[in-house]
Amino acid sequence: MNIDEIFDSAIPFQNRTAAVLDFQLERNPLYKRFAEVFGINHAEVIPAEIPLLPIRVFREHDMLVTGKKPEITFKSSGTGSMTSSRHLITDTALYKKAIEQEFYRHFSKKDFSILAYTPGYSDNPESSLVWMLSHLIDQDDSGLSRFLTLGKPIEKSELEEITEKGKSVLLFGAAFGLLDLIELGSAALPPGSAVIETGGMKTYRREITRVELRQHIEEGFRIPPEHIHSEYGMCELMSQFYAIGGEWFSKPHWVHISVRKEDNPSELCQPGEEGKIAVIDLANVYSCPFILTEDLGVMDEKGQFRVLGRWNKNNMRGCNFLIDRD
């Protein structure tokens, strides 16, 4: 298939999806066996009916279509005793394209310089987040974008260096890392700056809500709430999502997002109804684009979605969790 077509918004999404599905059925034996159980053996289905592999497939298998070799491998950081996910990337050019197209749709390349702060990720050399940020930093011809030194506050002079060159600061960091920066006594961000937070709310200190996090960032860096954005991404996906000035994420045009019922992943939730976030990411063409995540989410009428956290698995058998709720 012509990979460039994935990013060609002139082609209807359904057609692009059909081509990717055909490719997967031909070149991904694991997905083919999965889809066949649902009676899918050709590409004439609408996206919402395409069977979705549980995301744990990336923990249990090397997902790569036949005939391809990985250029790099991304690994999730993993939590507790959980095995890390592995995403074999066979085409970094495709990954770069997915990163750039969506990022620069929201944040102008010429206007911003990135200051990245990723404690917890930096010690994972196979982190997709660090790779993505490195790539975005490399794209800044001014040379002002960079990773911040861990454990050190942002100095006013560092910010002035950017603003003096006529650019705005874009602080991109893991949620708990941003809180660390504030606690370390970082300088207030200059007017026109923006913050992108990513990653979980669970820290080594305590768990906070997204509302609390946004408040801390607003007060700590003294920037208006509409300049505080979120990124949703994971090592299993080539594409990322941004929530601009709030908590509702939009999607790139080569991605289909839906929310599925926990007890029946084939069934779509209504807008406002919570369920598992399902992703068709055509940029995952060489691994698996049809994925059911373990993230709890909700969609609105406009097709934007919110991430509410991890799905809390309370489906234990036996006597557990059986106390009625009044």
Partner 1 sequence: MDDLEKHIESISRAVDEWLQPDNKDLKEAIDRTVDEGLFAFHDIQHQIRHLKQTVHLKSLSAWAGRAGLTHTSCSNRRVLCLHAGNLPLVGFQDLISVLMYGATYLGKLSRKDPWLLQSFLKIAENRGLSGMGKWSTKLNNLEGETADAFIFAGSEQTVPEVTETLEELKLIKSQIPSLIRTAHFSIAWITDNSPETMMNLSEAVFRYGGNGCRSAAMVVAPFNLKSQVCSFTDYVDTFWLRNPQHEKPLPKLFHRYAYNKSKGLPQAWLNDFLIEQNSEIPDEKFVLKWVKGGEKEIKDIISSAGEKLQSVYRSDGARLELAGRVTEPLSSAQTPPIWWKPDNTDTIRWLIDHVR
| Residue ranges in contact with partner 1 by CB under 8 A | 30-31, 33-34, 37-38, 51, 53-54, 57, 60-61, 262-267, 313, 315-324, 326
Closest separation between CB of residue 264 and partner 1, Å? 4
Closest separation between CB of residue 303 and partner 1, Å? 24
Sign of the Cα torsion 21, 22, 27, 32 reads: positive
- Residue 247, CA distances (Å) to 168, 214, 229, 297 in order: 22, 10, 8, 11
Closest separation between CB of residue 86 and partner 1, Å? 15
CA angle 314, 315, 319 (to 5 degrees): 95
Nearer to partner 1, 32 or 135 (CB): 32
Closest separation between CB of residue 326 and partner 1, Å? 5
Nearest alpha carbon to residue 283 among 312, 251, 258: 251
Nearer to partner 1, 2 or 320 (CB): 320
Nearer to partner 1, 4 or 263 (CB): 263
Nearer to partner 1, 157 or 264 (CB): 264
How many other C-beta atoms can be found within 10 angstroms of the C-beta atom of residue 142? 12
Nearer to partner 1, 93 or 322 (CB): 322
CA angle 61, 241, 112 (to 5 degrees): 125
Closest separation between CB of residue 315 and partner 1, Å? 6
Angstrom distance (rounded) from CA 197 to CA 180: 13
Residues sharing a CB contact under 8 Å with residue 298, sequence separation 6 or more, in sequence order: 259, 269, 271, 272, 273, 274, 275, 305, 306, 308
